[in-house]
Chain A
Amino acid sequence: MKAYDIVIIGGGPAGLAAAASAKRNGTDSILILERDRELGGILNQCIHNGFGLHTFKEELTGPEYAGRFIDQVKELGIEYRLNTMVMDISHEKVVTAMNREEGMFRIQAKAVILAMGCRERSRGALNIPGYRPAGIFSAGTAQRLVNMEGYMPGRKVVILGSGDIGLIMARRMTLEGAEVKVVAELMPYSGGLKRNIVQCLDDFGIPLKLSHTVVEIRGKERVEGITLAQVDERGKPIPGTEEDYECDTLLLSVGLIPENELSRGMGVEMNPVTSGPSVNESLETSLEGVFACGNVLHVHDLVDFVSEEAAAAGRNAANYVQGKRQKDSKKTVHLKPENGVRYTVPVTICPERMDETQIVRFRVGNVYKNCYIGVYLNDERILHKKRQVMAPGEMEEVKLEREKLLAVKDLETITIRIEEE
């Protein structure tokens, strides 16, 4: 059986950044396993710009952003396999993978970095009643058809869900000559970034209907129309508010789900809120030497933060295989999301092992205006940060300082909460 120090599952933005970082931190024996025909992951179909503002201080398209990391991986001489599907990872870090040339093979890893990304929620998960004709696409599938293969999925389009991919596709379909009639969003707020609503809907005169959902799909062979209805506070359609739209296409942008089948298979402990692994400050899962980063850990809005997170995972994995990392944390502090904070990544921190500063990322469960983010070490508030607007569609972060954590005697919990004053 072949052996590598670090095996990285996925050659998208997370896997690439993790690999480059691990190599720069002194680990040479690295292998990236990518199931697609090229490196770069989903960025390859994101041909719009707006990537890299944080990382490179310039606006890049998705493929350009991916290209920079692919170049790094190639310059650093990191090994990778394309068209290679990982079938299974054992508890003992034996990776079973398969491709056309090598067949099915096993690799022993000292450390594994999970970077499989996420997938889109499907129509089935929403239980929209009606027929099951052609013409219903998840926004990402449509994006692939248009941007990578040059095919139009339809002419008259309704989009359900205001996630970023849906917003981006509203603009793309319009530019390619389709008529986008409306974007409907079940929640009273959008799930996407504010800038995407302005640039992709407002600029093209595409209406966004909040608190609306699709209650019927018509057409036996191909979509012929859909019915939208307004929903009440509990998300239930309000009778009498139905509106029919004639369309041949329904795009769904109704959420992303971290793709953790392999993680579950190897016995990694999961966080039910994020559907990603529960990780400590090193982005290490419940299994020692198994790290996670990017959208497989929790769904991000901006790839820049994926790269940053993945670089940390790569560095930590390198330190782990080189024995530079303190093995057992003497003391573990739990992070407690509270009062509007839905989750935190990481979920535990070992102050002795953490870096000088630690970024904690989280999402809020509702729209909050003129509120504060409060951070408490045990009962003592150490941060009180004013935010004009917080929304579920935009990830939040706070920085924790090692020194401050070490200064608290008997530190047990770090609470992060939304406060009105």
Chain B
Amino acid sequence: MYDVIIIGAGVSGAAAARELTRYKLSVCVLEKEEDVCCGTTKANSAIVHAGYDAAHGSLMAKLNVEGNQMMEALSKELDFPFTRNGSLVVCTDETQMEGLKNLYENGVKNGVEGLRIIDRDELKQMEPNIADEAVAALYAPTGGIVCPFGLNIALAENAAANGAEFFFDTKVEQIRPVENGYELSTNKGTYTGRCVVNAAGVCADLIHNMVSEKKMKIIPRKGEYFLLDKSAGSHVSHTIFALPGKYGKGVLVSPTVHGNLLVGPTATDIENKEGVNTTRAGLDEVSEKSRITVKDLPLRQVITSFAGLRAHEEGHEFIIEEVKDAPGFIDCAGIESPGLSSGPAIGVMVASIVKEKLNAQENPAFNGTRKGILNPETLSLEERNELIRKNPAYGNIICRCEMISEGEILDAIRRPLGARSLDGVKRRTRAGMGRCQAGFCSPRTMEILARELNSPMFDITKSGGGSQIVVGTNKDRI
């Protein structure tokens, strides 16, 4: 019997797992997909919100501001990309200035530091490509951008290094209370735990409803995005939001930590919890709305589009608590925006609830630091040559667009919770994430995966499950 079973290896589940390994607790994480970071954490705005948006007094507001404050130190401890680039909420209509002031005041009450409203001239100076209609903006210097994969994978790897066990392709089908805990039936056998943490993202309601009479409903809220080539990455330097106004909510335009430009999202409530397809209407809406705040956006430089699902709960609030009629069962549900920003703080909060419950002692062996995959671009020519001399795989470029070497891909596969699919490699190294979108490198990455995992090419998948890439050999059906 585990002390704690966490359902879901997204940012919340991984953060909770890491925080729980600070205590003398046996922890396991059950994930229905083949890898960490396969749900809501995979496809979102990659933003660390400053925290002016969430209503004052809400848990969202509290955890957002806390998460934002934790992010920088955490990015150094766990070695993932984070940049505090600052954000701007742009007002394009004089009559909406009241809205901007309200946002400012809410932010001050939430404890967001450094907020100020800037005029058109200052805005233009900060962002030359801002729309001509812009009249003012709320500037939040603490706003940031993060690699969501990097954050999620780092948290999970560090949790694993500190003893948390991860089980992938493991879908929880039933939960029943047993003496001193719960028994979870999955497609891969049963697991028992004293406490259960429900961090199942858009499926958190299904999991919650297995144990509680007070039913929950999580609505998948689809957001569609464009990702632009790095050549467009400096079109803006801050994260640009539109002040909700007569055009509706608007979309954000933001650089990413890797130098691309991200535009989106839409917000459409759907039924299908796996409905991550993009739609014509959604993509059209993104291109339409992107023009509200930013001019001359080079949408011809789009390299991919994608959709993600936010786990929207009707009350629009994070639900992080022990379920009243299910002792030892802790919900971590309704984690929609600013969920990524709040992730580190969510982990702390979940851990503190469990720790109280189980009266856990501190784990003196906990080591909170983790080294990420080496990025050779950060090395000098001499250091890089030394690296290649020791390990020639670093001299062999596999992904031409992002200049990712075989050495980095091998590291991604061989490390704890290593990549087992093309997407797994992509999320860890960026191989295949560039302008050719894996056209060139996928056969080569497949070869490396097949070699390292000792499996035939037919078993190599794009993203686990039934996503095999090649289906046979030439003329095998003739």
Residues of A that sit less than 8 Å from B by CB: 35, 83, 85, 87, 98-104, 119-120, 122-125, 127, 129-135, 137-138, 140-141, 144-146, 149-155, 176-177, 215, 217, 220-222, 237, 248, 264
Contact = CB atoms under 8 A, between A and B. Distances in A.
A301 to B, nearest CB: 20
Contacts of A264: 231
B323 interface: no
A140 B462 CA distance: 18
Interface string B424-455: 00000000000111011011000000000000
A36 B378 CA distance: 25
A134 B468 contact: yes
Contacts of A155: 471-472, 477
Contacts of B348: none
Contact of A35 (B392, B397, B473, B476): B397
Contacts of B388: 98, 100, 103-104
Contacts of B396: 83, 99-100
Contacts of B188: none
A141 B403 CA distance: 18
B469 A150 contact: no
Interface string B456-468: 0100011101111
20 contacts: A85-B397, A98-B397, A100-B393, A104-B384, A120-B436, A127-B226, A129-B277, A129-B278, A131-B276, A138-B436, A140-B439, A141-B443, A145-B470, A151-B470, A151-B473, A152-B474, A152-B476, A153-B469, A176-B475, A220-B274
Contacts of A141: 439-440, 442-443
B439 A222 contact: no
Contacts of A131: 276-277
B302 A124 contact: yes
A129 B304 contact: no
A104 to B, nearest CB: 5
B227 A124 contact: yes
Given A151-B473, A177-B474, A221-B462, 6 more contacts: A104-B381, A138-B436, A138-B439, A153-B471, A155-B472, A221-B463
B42 to A, nearest CB: 11
A130 B440 CA distance: 22
A146 B436 contact: no
Interface in B181-195: none
B471 A133 contact: no
Given A100-B388, A123-B437, A124-B303, A222 B474 contact: no
A149 B447 CA distance: 10
B471 A125 contact: no
Nearest to A140: B439
Given A100-B388, A100-B393, A127-B305, A215 B280 contact: yes
Most interface-central of B276, B442, B466, B471 (chain A CB within 10 A): B471
Contacts of A132: 276, 306
B467 A129 contact: no
A125 B303 contact: yes
Contacts of A102: 395
Contacts of A149: 443, 457
Contacts of A140: 439
B465 A221 contact: yes
B389 interface: yes
B283 interface: yes
Contacts of B280: 129, 215, 237
Given A134-B463, A222-B467, A119 B440 contact: yes
Contacts of B282: 129
Contact of A101 (B227, B384, B392, B473): B392
Nearest to A264: B231
Contacts of A217: 277
Given A138-B439, A221-B466, A152 B472 contact: yes
Nearest to B389: A103
Interface string B327-361: 00000000000000000000000000000000000
Contacts of B369: none
A141 B432 CA distance: 13
B468 A144 contact: no
Contact of B469 (A104, A134, A144): A134
A256 to B, nearest CB: 11
B474 A101 contact: no
Contacts of A98: 388, 395, 397
Contacts of B304: 122-124
A87 B276 CA distance: 36
Given A130-B277, A134-B469, A141-B439, A100 B392 contact: yes
B278 A222 contact: no
Given A83-B396, A103-B385, A104-B384, A151 B468 contact: no
Contacts of A222: 466-468
Nearest to A105: B385
B279 interface: yes
Contacts of B120: none
Contact of A133 (B231, B436, B467, B474): B467
Contact of B462 (A99, A134, A154): A134
A140 B436 CA distance: 12
B400 interface: yes
B73 interface: no
A186 to B, nearest CB: 15
Interface in B391-429: 392-393, 395-397, 400, 403
B475 to A, nearest CB: 5
B401 to A, nearest CB: 8
Contacts of A177: 474-478
Contacts of B381: 104
Nearest to B385: A103
Nearest to B299: A127
Closest 6 CB pairs of A and B: A124-B304, A103-B385, A100-B392, A134-B462, A122-B437, A151-B470
B330 to A, nearest CB: 30
A125 B400 contact: no
A153 B460 CA distance: 12
B467 A134 contact: yes
Nearest to B391: A100
